[in-house]
Copies of this chain bind each other. A is one copy, B any other.
Protein backbone atom coordinates (compact mmCIF):
# COMPACT_ATOMS: atom_id res chain seq x y z
CA UNK A 1 0.00 0.00 0.00
CA UNK A 2 1.45 3.34 -1.00
CA UNK A 3 1.50 6.09 1.55
CA UNK A 4 1.11 9.82 1.59
CA UNK A 5 4.44 11.58 2.08
CA UNK A 6 4.82 14.83 3.97
CA UNK A 7 7.78 17.12 3.44
CA UNK A 8 8.37 19.51 6.31
CA UNK A 9 10.81 22.44 6.27
CA UNK A 10 12.78 22.71 9.50
CA UNK A 11 13.09 26.32 10.58
CA UNK A 12 15.27 27.73 13.31
CA UNK A 13 18.65 26.14 12.60
CA UNK A 14 21.21 28.76 13.69
CA UNK A 15 24.18 29.78 11.56
CA UNK A 16 26.49 26.74 11.62
CA UNK A 17 30.20 27.19 12.40
CA UNK A 18 33.20 24.87 12.17
CA UNK A 19 33.21 22.37 15.01
CA UNK A 20 29.52 22.80 15.82
CA UNK A 21 27.56 19.75 16.91
CA UNK A 22 25.37 19.63 13.82
CA UNK A 23 23.27 16.67 15.01
CA UNK A 24 22.45 18.54 18.21
CA UNK A 25 21.51 21.71 16.35
CA UNK A 26 19.25 19.74 13.99
CA UNK A 27 17.59 17.84 16.84
CA UNK A 28 16.91 21.13 18.68
CA UNK A 29 15.46 22.76 15.55
CA UNK A 30 13.25 19.71 14.90
CA UNK A 31 11.97 19.81 18.49
CA UNK A 32 10.51 23.22 17.70
CA UNK A 33 8.74 22.14 14.54
CA UNK A 34 8.06 18.48 13.93
CA UNK A 35 9.80 16.35 16.63
CA UNK A 36 11.63 13.46 14.96
CA UNK A 37 9.79 10.17 14.53
CA UNK A 38 10.83 6.64 13.66
CA UNK A 39 11.51 6.28 9.90
CA UNK A 40 11.70 9.99 9.20
CA UNK A 41 14.17 10.92 6.49
CA UNK A 42 16.20 14.09 7.14
CA UNK A 43 17.61 15.85 4.13
CA UNK A 44 20.47 18.15 5.14
CA UNK A 45 22.13 20.65 2.81
CA UNK A 46 25.76 20.06 1.92
CA UNK A 47 26.48 23.64 2.93
CA UNK A 48 25.77 23.19 6.63
CA UNK A 49 27.64 19.88 6.70
CA UNK A 50 30.66 21.55 5.07
CA UNK A 51 30.45 24.43 7.55
CA UNK A 52 30.27 22.13 10.60
CA UNK A 53 33.20 20.08 9.26
CA UNK A 54 35.26 23.20 8.57
CA UNK A 55 35.46 22.60 4.82
CA UNK A 56 35.86 26.34 4.25
CA UNK A 57 38.64 28.13 2.41
CA UNK A 58 39.48 31.83 2.26
CA UNK A 59 39.16 33.50 -1.12
CA UNK A 60 39.39 37.06 -2.41
CA UNK A 61 35.96 38.57 -1.74
CA UNK A 62 36.38 41.05 -4.61
CA UNK A 63 37.21 38.44 -7.25
CA UNK A 64 34.29 36.13 -8.14
CA UNK A 65 36.75 33.76 -9.86
CA UNK A 66 39.20 33.52 -6.96
CA UNK A 67 38.02 30.03 -6.00
CA UNK A 68 38.86 28.58 -9.42
CA UNK A 69 42.28 27.17 -8.42
CA UNK A 70 40.40 25.23 -5.71
CA UNK A 71 38.18 23.70 -8.39
CA UNK A 72 41.22 22.17 -10.05
CA UNK A 73 42.62 21.01 -6.70
CA UNK A 74 39.35 19.34 -5.71
CA UNK A 75 38.98 17.60 -9.07
CA UNK A 76 40.31 14.20 -10.04
CA UNK A 77 39.75 15.03 -13.70
CA UNK A 78 38.49 18.01 -15.72
CA UNK A 79 35.82 16.78 -18.13
CA UNK A 80 34.64 19.88 -20.00
CA UNK A 81 35.41 23.62 -19.94
CA UNK A 82 33.49 26.44 -21.55
CA UNK A 83 34.34 29.99 -20.52
CA UNK A 84 34.15 30.14 -16.72
CA UNK A 85 32.29 26.82 -16.55
CA UNK A 86 34.33 23.81 -15.43
CA UNK A 87 32.67 20.38 -15.33
CA UNK A 88 34.89 17.93 -13.52
CA UNK A 89 34.94 14.63 -11.70
CA UNK A 90 35.55 15.26 -8.00
CA UNK A 91 37.74 13.08 -5.81
CA UNK A 92 34.53 11.35 -4.68
CA UNK A 93 33.54 10.56 -8.28
CA UNK A 94 30.74 13.14 -8.64
CA UNK A 95 30.53 14.82 -12.04
CA UNK A 96 29.44 18.41 -11.46
CA UNK A 97 30.26 22.08 -12.03
CA UNK A 98 33.09 23.75 -10.08
CA UNK A 99 33.82 20.53 -8.14
CA UNK A 100 30.81 21.39 -5.98
CA UNK A 101 32.52 24.49 -4.57
CA UNK A 102 30.31 27.47 -4.04
CA UNK A 103 30.16 30.83 -2.40
CA UNK A 104 26.49 31.44 -1.67
CA UNK A 105 25.26 31.31 1.94
CA UNK A 106 28.82 31.77 3.25
CA UNK A 107 30.80 34.93 4.10
CA UNK A 108 32.05 36.90 1.06
CA UNK A 109 35.67 35.85 1.70
CA UNK A 110 34.84 32.15 2.02
CA UNK A 111 34.28 29.28 -0.40
CA UNK A 112 32.71 26.05 0.84
CA UNK A 113 34.16 22.74 -0.39
CA UNK A 114 32.21 19.48 -0.47
CA UNK A 115 32.61 17.34 2.66
CA UNK A 116 35.53 14.88 2.45
CA UNK A 117 33.12 11.94 2.70
CA UNK A 118 29.43 12.86 2.73
CA UNK A 119 28.34 9.26 3.33
CA UNK A 120 30.39 9.30 6.52
CA UNK A 121 28.88 12.68 7.44
CA UNK A 122 25.42 11.15 6.96
CA UNK A 123 26.28 8.08 9.06
CA UNK A 124 27.51 10.27 11.91
CA UNK A 125 24.29 12.28 11.90
CA UNK A 126 22.21 9.10 11.75
CA UNK A 127 24.11 7.53 14.66
CA UNK A 128 23.98 10.68 16.78
CA UNK A 129 20.22 11.02 16.26
CA UNK A 130 19.65 7.32 16.98
CA UNK A 131 21.67 7.69 20.20
CA UNK A 132 19.98 10.83 21.47
CA UNK A 133 16.41 10.51 20.20
CA UNK A 134 16.07 6.70 20.07
CA UNK A 135 14.59 6.86 16.59
CA UNK A 136 15.85 5.21 13.44
CA UNK A 137 16.05 7.85 10.74
CA UNK A 138 17.52 8.03 7.26
CA UNK A 139 19.90 10.87 6.43
CA UNK A 140 20.60 12.40 3.03
CA UNK A 141 23.24 15.07 2.44
CA UNK A 142 21.99 17.00 -0.61
CA UNK A 143 23.65 19.31 -3.10
CA UNK A 144 22.43 21.09 -6.21
CA UNK A 145 23.77 19.76 -9.52
CA UNK A 146 23.12 20.49 -13.17
CA UNK A 147 22.28 17.93 -15.83
CA UNK A 148 23.81 17.67 -19.29
CA UNK A 149 20.62 17.66 -21.38
CA UNK A 150 18.14 19.49 -19.21
CA UNK A 151 18.19 23.09 -18.06
CA UNK A 152 17.84 24.07 -14.46
CA UNK A 153 19.35 22.40 -11.45
CA UNK A 154 17.98 19.81 -9.06
CA UNK A 155 19.09 18.58 -5.67
CA UNK A 156 20.66 15.14 -5.53
CA UNK A 157 22.14 13.02 -2.76
CA UNK A 158 25.90 13.29 -2.27
CA UNK A 159 25.77 11.17 0.87
CA UNK A 160 23.27 8.97 2.65
CA UNK A 161 22.92 6.66 5.64
CA UNK A 162 20.22 4.33 6.82
CA UNK A 163 18.51 4.12 3.42
CA UNK A 164 18.72 1.90 0.37
CA UNK A 165 20.00 4.43 -2.18
CA UNK A 166 18.49 2.49 -5.08
CA UNK A 167 15.25 0.55 -4.90
CA UNK A 168 15.85 -2.56 -6.93
CA UNK A 169 12.61 -3.68 -8.53
CA UNK A 170 14.14 -6.40 -10.70
CA UNK A 171 12.02 -9.48 -10.42
CA UNK A 172 8.98 -7.36 -9.51
CA UNK A 173 5.92 -7.60 -11.70
CA UNK A 174 4.09 -4.61 -13.16
CA UNK A 175 0.38 -4.04 -12.57
CA UNK A 176 -0.31 -6.52 -15.40
CA UNK A 177 1.86 -9.29 -13.96
CA UNK A 178 4.77 -8.86 -16.38
CA UNK A 179 8.32 -8.23 -15.28
CA UNK A 180 9.18 -4.55 -15.05
CA UNK A 181 11.63 -3.04 -17.51
CA UNK A 182 12.35 0.01 -15.40
CA UNK A 183 13.93 -1.57 -12.42
CA UNK A 184 16.23 0.57 -10.37
CA UNK A 185 14.85 3.77 -8.92
CA UNK A 186 17.28 6.16 -7.25
CA UNK A 187 15.10 7.05 -4.28
CA UNK A 188 17.76 9.10 -2.47
CA UNK A 189 17.94 11.51 -5.40
CA UNK A 190 14.15 11.76 -5.59
CA UNK A 191 14.01 12.40 -1.83
CA UNK A 192 16.75 15.05 -2.09
CA UNK A 193 14.89 16.83 -4.89
CA UNK A 194 11.59 16.64 -3.00
CA UNK A 195 13.22 18.24 0.03
CA UNK A 196 14.62 21.08 -2.07
CA UNK A 197 11.04 22.07 -2.89
CA UNK A 198 10.47 23.10 0.73
CA UNK A 199 13.99 24.19 1.58
CA UNK A 200 14.49 26.82 -1.09
CA UNK A 201 17.82 28.42 -1.80
CA UNK A 202 17.32 31.93 -0.55
CA UNK A 203 15.73 31.23 2.78
CA UNK A 204 18.50 29.41 4.59
CA UNK A 205 16.29 26.46 5.55
CA UNK A 206 19.02 23.83 5.49
CA UNK A 207 17.03 20.81 6.66
CA UNK A 208 13.77 19.14 5.69
CA UNK A 209 12.05 16.14 7.21
CA UNK A 210 10.27 13.66 4.93
CA UNK A 211 7.67 11.67 6.80
CA UNK A 212 5.79 8.61 5.57
CA UNK A 213 8.64 6.83 3.78
CA UNK A 214 8.13 3.08 3.43
CA UNK A 215 10.04 1.29 6.25
CA UNK A 216 11.22 -1.22 3.60
CA UNK A 217 13.37 1.55 2.10
CA UNK A 218 15.52 1.69 5.22
CA UNK A 219 18.72 -0.36 5.23
CA UNK A 220 22.43 -0.10 4.69
CA UNK A 221 23.98 1.59 1.69
CA UNK A 222 25.75 4.71 0.57
CA UNK A 223 25.89 7.07 -2.36
CA UNK A 224 29.50 6.77 -3.45
CA UNK A 225 29.38 2.97 -3.81
CA UNK A 226 25.84 2.63 -5.14
CA UNK A 227 24.96 5.80 -7.05
CA UNK A 228 28.20 7.14 -8.47
CA UNK A 229 28.63 5.42 -11.81
CA UNK A 230 32.05 3.96 -12.36
CA UNK A 231 33.89 5.52 -15.33
CA UNK A 232 34.07 2.06 -16.93
CA UNK A 233 30.23 1.99 -17.21
CA UNK A 234 30.05 5.55 -18.43
CA UNK A 235 29.19 6.49 -22.00
CA UNK A 236 29.53 10.26 -21.48
CA UNK A 237 32.83 11.08 -19.79
Contacts and interface: CB of A to CB of B under 8 A. Distances in A.
Interface stretch (A52-60, A122-130, A133-141, A197-205): A197-205
A30 interface: no
A236 B237 CA distance: 8
B104 A149 contact: no
A155 B146 CA distance: 16
A121 interface: no
A132 interface: no
A28 interface: no
A193 B197 CA distance: 11
A20 interface: no
A185 B176 contact: no
Interface residues of A, number: 73
Given A149-B236, A235-B148, A4 B197 contact: no
Contacts of A180: 104, 201-202
A21 to B, nearest CB: 21
Nearest to A155: B190
A18 B56 CA distance: 57
Among A103, A181, A187, A197, the most chain B Cβ lie within 10 Å of the Cβ of: A197
A105 B154 CA distance: 28
A161 B185 CA distance: 25
Interface in A150-168: 150-156, 165-166
6 contacts: A2-B9, A4-B198, A5-B198, A105-B174, A148-B148, A151-B229
Top 10 nearest A-B pairs (CB, nearest first) are: A152-B186, A175-B204, A194-B194, A190-B193, A148-B236, A95-B149, A152-B166, A2-B9, A80-B235, A5-B7
